[in-house]
Chain A
Amino acid sequence: MVKGDMYLAQASDEEILKQGESGGAVTALLKFALDSGVVDAVLGVKKRDGNNRYDAVLDLITDPEKVIDCAGSLHCVSLNIARNVKEYLGGAKQMKIAVLCKPCDARAIIEIAKRKQINRDNLLLIGLNCTGTLPPVVAKEMLISEYEVDPNEVVMEDIEGGELIVTLADGTKIAKDLLELEKKGYGRRDNCRRCNVSIPTLADIACGKWGVKEGEKKTFTEVCSDKGAEFIDNAIKTGVIKVEPPGEDAIEERKRKDREAIELSNKCEAEDLKELREISLDDRLAYWLHMFDRCIKCFSCRDACPICYCKKCFLEPDRGYVKGGEVPPDRMFHLTRLAHDGDSCVNCGQCQDACPAEIPLTRLYLMLNIKLSPMFDYVSGMDVEQKPPLIAAKDEEASIDDIDIFLVKGEAGEVVPQQ
């Protein structure tokens, strides 16, 4: 195997194959990673108490037999995987961990790793394709009012062809138009609408269902790094997964779906930011000040942000920017975060999910990030070797006098984060 190789994979173990969302390859690989000592632990996602799919929890697993508890994909989730690795698992500095990650989780991990707060070398990133997650409480409401089903009857969710498809225990499938649901305030998390990385090729391997024929239990797997290649090679040698090359049509199909997902996200982005982009500067400022003044200064957005990197936070009163004991806080509160994180924001949506005042923070950050990306040739969270743009000045820039060089580059075009 080398980077770029793709194949259809299937767990050899019958039970894993049965429990797996697609071909169970992910579960089989994770079990192998523990069995073979490639990692000390697996950070997986599972239903609370084994049955509540609207209350997903992270599980740090060291017993290979327990990996199967996490099999299956949970869509009604907004777990903060990256921040957990940084905060509660010591940045993976003391142990090797296989981390299950959607594109936003992986990108956030990469951004923290750049700031040396996570040790990327100790992580095996198992990427899952993703086109959206749902806020759990709102999702339950939606299932009752729109799907007219008991949320506890649901055994699977899926987003496919612009529809949100729910499968019930008795096998019934109900599909509804995703954008129609979202018009009513249901559907995906706000940031997911505008997320334009569906295949996490920045992880060590990227796994998904795209490219797999309807009804087949296989996992389409792409090898994305040398580490991923070595890992998969060993897994195949021990026989824990069976692999076959995907046909040209499967590869094409996966590409097409990825393209469609990006088109949809571009469409949603254009729609969601249209008004903010078109109104006058004065109106835009009035809008954001109004939003900022809803803030109760709970610090949740800061604490949720995987990128927030200062060891001693500038929002604390002793730093001299934001006075203590004032609500709503000085507007420096919000502008400081924007100045610190705007260039590296990965649109994971954690800040907005955490905000009790429902400030649409991700729209502000995305609006800035989209502008900065082409200026600095920088797509956040894609390459651990690429330094954050504000500290990435290169020696050759010393021979360029033009003060507006980055601004001019920015005008020239927007970067689409696809490799």
Chain B
Amino acid sequence: MGEEVKGEFEPRIIGFTCNWCTYAAADLAGTARMKYPPNIRLIRQMCSGRVDPLFVLKVFLRGADGVFIGGCHPGECHYMTGNLSARRRYSMMKKLLESVGIDPKRLRMEWISASEGIKFSDTVKEFTAQIKGLGPGPFRHIETEGKEQK
């Protein structure tokens, strides 16, 4: 993962994005040269419904400062209800994080269609600023698989 710029905290955000919408929107934002912070690393999924809550947990435990999930708008999922299940899981995860003591604001989900490049870049800007405000995630000091180092 990227090196920190001295002095300022640079969040590491993992974005699970649906191939058919948000991932394409990110692509669009890129080709249209819309600027957005480089803090987000995208992991392409075939559907937001593929984002297992365990992915989110694992990513947090391995040091991510924020997790973003992007899916097709309701009614537009290529697999009909994948995004509806994703919304339910996301809602559960918000409460799970809160229950164990991880700030739920570190998890965010949005519907971003393939044509919404601007929404994608705005969301990433906003979310990055929010995570900057929250500071490093609770497992930030973990650098490698399962090993803790300070």
Tell me whether B73 is interfacial, beta carbon within 8 Å.
yes
Chain A residues in 8 Å Cβ range of B54: 314, 321, 332, 335-336, 339
| Nearest B residue (CB) for A285 | B101
With a cutoff of 8 Å between Cβ atoms, the chain B residues found around residue A330 in the complex are 61, 146
Binds A, one of B9-17, B39-47, B85-93: B85-93
Say yes or no for A399: interface residue by CB 8 A criterion: yes
B98 within 8 A of A: yes
Interface residues of B in 80-132 (CB under 8 A from A): 80-81, 84-85, 87-96, 98-103, 109-111
Q: Is the interface of B mostly helix, strand, loop or mixed?
A: helix
State which of B73, B81, B88, B103 has its C-beta within 8 Å of the C-beta of A281.
B103
Complex interface: chain B residues within 8 A of A287 (CB): 101
B96 touches A342 (CB 8 A): yes
Beta-carbon nearest neighbor of A375 in chain B: B91
Over the window 239-264 of chain A, the binary record of Cβ atoms lying under 8 Å from chain B Cβ atoms (1 yes, 0 no) is 00000000000000000000000000
Docked complex: A43-57 residues within 8 A CB-CB of B: none
What number of A residues sit within 8 Å (CB to CB) of B? 46
Shortest Cβ distance from A314 into chain B, in angstroms?
A: 7
Residues of chain A with a CB closer than 8 A to B99's CB = 338, 342, 364, 367-368, 371
Whether the Cβ atoms of B53 and A339 lie closer than 8 Å is: yes
B147 to chain A, nearest CB (A): 11
- Chain B: minimal CB distance from A344 (Å): 11
A338 pairs with B73, CB closer than 8 A: no
Q: Does A398 reach chain B (CB closer than 8 Å)?
A: yes
Interface residues on chain B, number (Cβ under 8 Å): 34
B91 touching A336, Cβ below 8 Å: no
- Whether B57 is near chain A, meaning CB under 8 Å from some CB there, is yes
Q: Which A residues lie within 8 Å of B57 (CB)?
A: 332, 335-336, 339
Interface check A407, CB cutoff 8 A: yes
A412 within 8 A of B: no
Q: For residue A111, which residues in chain B have a CB less than 8 angstroms away from its CB? A: none
Identify A401's interface contact among B74, B103, B109, CB under 8 A: B74
Asked if B81 and A395 make an inter-chain contact with CB atoms under 8 angstroms apart, the answer reads yes
The distance from the CB of B134 to the nearest CB of chain A, in whole angstroms, is: 10
Instruction: State A397–B146 Cα separation when bound (angstroms).
Output: 39
Among A370-385, those with CB < 8 Å from B are 371-372, 375-376
- Report A139-170 CB contacts with B as 1/0, cut-off 8 Å: 00000000000000000000000000000000
Q: How far is the CB of B59 from chain A (nearest CB, A)?
A: 11
User: Is there an interface contact between A281 and B91, defined as CB atoms closer than 8 Å?
Assistant: no
Q: Which residues of A contact B91 (CB under 8 A)?
A: 375, 404, 406-407, 410
- C-beta contact mask, A382-419 vs B, less than 8 Å → 1, else 0? 00000001111111011111011111001000000000
Q: Does B33 count as interface, using CB distance less than 8 angstroms? A: no
> In the bound complex, do residue A398 and residue B92 qualify as a contact, i.e. CB atoms below 8 Å apart?
no
* B95 contacts A410, C-beta separation under 8 Å: yes
B108 nearest CB neighbor, chain A only:
A403
CA distance A326 to B57 in the complex (A): 19
Are B61's CB and A335's CB within 8 A? yes
**A284 interface hit (Cβ, 8 Å):** yes
Contact A372:B92 (CB < 8 A) given known A336-B54, A395-B81: yes
| A46 CA / B80 CA spacing, docked (Å) | 51
Residues of B within 8 A of A (CB): 53-54, 57-58, 61, 73-75, 77, 80-81, 84-85, 87-96, 98-103, 109-111, 138, 146
Chain A positions within 8 Å of B, measured between CB atoms, are: 281-288, 314, 321, 323, 326, 330-332, 335-336, 338-339, 342-343, 364, 367-368, 371-372, 375-376, 389-395, 397-401, 403-407, 410
Q: Which 8 A-B pairs have the closest CB atoms?
A: A285-B101, A284-B101, A393-B84, A406-B91, A371-B95, A368-B99, A398-B75, A339-B53
